[in-house]
Structure 1
Amino acid sequence: MNVENGVHDAHYFVPSPSRWPIVGACALFCLGLGAALSINQVGGGGWILLAGLGILLWMLRGWFGDVIRESEAGAYGQQVDYSFRWGMSWFIFSEIMFFAAFFGALFYTRTISVPELGLMGDTQQWLWPQFHAEWPQATGPKAASYVAMHPLGLPVINTALLLSSGATLTWAHWGLLQQNRKVLSLGLALTVLLGALFLSLQAYEYHHAWTQLNLTLASGAYGATFYLLTGFHGLHVLVGTLILATMWFRVQRGHFTPQHHFGFEAAAWYWHFVDVVWLLLFVLVYCM
């Protein structure tokens, strides 16, 4: 990508043609084909899947690198900055809608469907003789032995970690605005470390729940909603941690100024969104 080949005017910047969209399409095709072949145990599926992953990582590195070079070259004016801000805002809104749907499923299951099943009288006793209209309620062959997650212990520690990461990220932002690169770098590094620690503890929690508490995806509506909500949030923490790590590497190269740092700001928006979702998840999934 040659920034000079882009089209400039007083309000906007149109980049030169890029090869990365077609490369990304090829990567997704290889990922889908490789996954399908692997699931059906067809030879070569794993290699195609691995190749698709490699092409995808190459595309992400190249495309993000082009955008970073354009930004550092001063190609983005105020109008482009507004577009980036609106784009990130709508992206976060779409993520809010995802979580709203999942929280809605949890609410419907816990407060509507379970009580209604308990009011079916003789029909309920005939169909599900061991069913009790209470939450959490399990179904399936291992229903009698699973244990629900308790809010104390790892969930509380993970909550403290995410809240602390929000504070360290805000501290890093303050350092950027004050042109204190040491505070900026240290705050970002601590945030990335706290995010990685959160993911490690969540992986340990999953292993404990699966092996010791018998809480699996087969543990009825409770198990399904628990892993859906916490797993989807964990995926967001992973993505946010990778984004913040990228911001840290950019800081080491001297990127961002108090007047020009939307890449950092967008990452901070995303991370604070992840923090808020976890607080809701902790209360609605673990405590209630």
Structure 2
Amino acid sequence: MDIREHHAAGQYFVPAPSRWPALGAAALFCLGLGAALAVNGVGWSGWLLLAGGLALLRMLFGWFGDVIGENQQGRYQGQESMSFRWGMGWFIFSEVMLFGAFFGVLFWLRLVALPTLGSLDYKWLYPDFSPSWPLLTAPQAMVSYQAMEAWGLPALNTLILLSSGATLTWAHWGLLQGRRRQLQRGLLFTFSLGGLFLVLQAIEYHHAWTTQHLTLSAGAYGMTFYMLTGLHGLHVLLGSIILLVVWLRVLRGHFDHQHHFAFEAAAWYWHFVDVVWLLLFVLVYWL
């Protein structure tokens, strides 16, 4: 039975058993263990991180290649496309829950923990405690830190991500109208802006760590700052890689105005990343 007969019979395409999930799990294990060992100063942790990173790249290239090949062979039709859409929707929902948990930590610290510890009930335990945000380092500490300013690199990065959302929408219009050059340029601008965002965030981190002494050990403020912005930066990196893959597929002539779910999935993910950054800018940097 060929592909057309396969779909005409109402059958759902089920891929053959794959080694990529097992390789991906092993890669993530190596990366997680290597990161934990690196934080604790274990010398060979770098090799474990390198092995995990290379294995993850091999998994991504192999798995992406298999899915793209199956799509180009016409194996994915209406039923499979609907499954992909539901899968991407639930994936983004899980990401919303993940960031919601981390934002919940921030809200709990600022709206519950600080007022409680600063109340009269705890004044005799912590007489010098000031319930203000960001929490200042104790006076007896050798090094104090400075809070991050919103107007500077964070504001510039906000403008960059908003611009990337606009260029991605422009690329989507080009796809729907059959303008391939507009589609290519829009995608190129979008993931290039994502890369610029990551470079500026790295510069910001270096300045915060070395000049402002804002480290992971700088109390609740340093922990929540790096936890939220670092997790978002990881998502920007992942989104940029996805957009790069989509752009390379566009250069090879993939997608048209009717069949372009991979582009739509990348766009959903990227707009989600944009919205999360707006919340981060307001709640972490500004307020």
Q: Normalised by the size of structure 2, how large is the TM-score?
A: 0.89
- Contact between 2:136 and 2:144, CA under 8 Å: does it hold in 1? no
Q: 1:36 to 1:219 in 2, by over 3 A?
A: closer
Number of the residue aligned with 1:235? 234
RMSD (Å) for aligned C-alpha atoms: 2.4
1:66-98 deviation per Cα after TM superposition (whole angstroms, max 9, x unaligned): 100111111111011110000000000000001
Query: How far, CA to CA, are the matches of 1:25 and 1:226 in structure 2?
Result: 28
- Look up the equivalent residue of 1:252 and give its one-letter code: L
Query: How far, CA to CA, are the matches of 2:85 and 2:204 in structure 1?
Result: 36
Q: 1:278 to 1:68 in 2, by over 3 A?
A: same
Number of the residue aligned with 2:259? 260
Query: How far, CA to CA, are the matches of 2:187 and 2:31 in structure 1?
Result: 32
SS in 2 for 1:13: coil
Number of the residue aligned with 1:147? 146
- Contact between 1:31 and 1:48, CA under 8 Å: does it hold in 2? yes
- In structure 1, the gaps of 5 or more residues are none
Matched, 1:130 2:128: yes
Number of the residue aligned with 1:96? 96
Residue 124 (structure 1) shift: 3.2
SS in 1 for 2:123: helix
Residue 237 (structure 1) shift: 0.5
Number of the residue aligned with 1:116? 116
1:252-271 deviation per Cα after TM superposition (whole angstroms, max 9, x unaligned): 11111110000010000000
**Paired-residue identity, %:** 63
Number of the residue aligned with 2:21? 21
SS in 2 for 1:79: helix
Q: 1:124 to 1:63 in 2, by over 3 A?
A: same
Residue 223 (structure 1) shift: 1.2
Q: 1:143 to 1:276 in 2, by over 3 A?
A: farther
Number of the residue aligned with 2:206? 207
Q: Normalised by the size of structure 1, how large is the TM-score?
A: 0.89
Aligned pairs, number: 281
Number of the residue aligned with 1:65? 65
Q: 1:35 to 1:96 in 2, by over 3 A?
A: closer
- Contact between 2:178 and 2:256, CA under 8 Å: does it hold in 1? yes
Q: 1:222 to 1:26 in 2, by over 3 A?
A: closer
Q: 1:193 to 1:31 in 2, by over 3 A?
A: closer
Query: How far, CA to CA, are the matches of 2:119 and 2:113 in structure 1?
Result: 10
Number of the residue aligned with 2:191? 192
- Contact between 2:13 and 2:76, CA under 8 Å: does it hold in 1? yes
Q: 1:138 to 1:217 in 2, by over 3 A?
A: farther
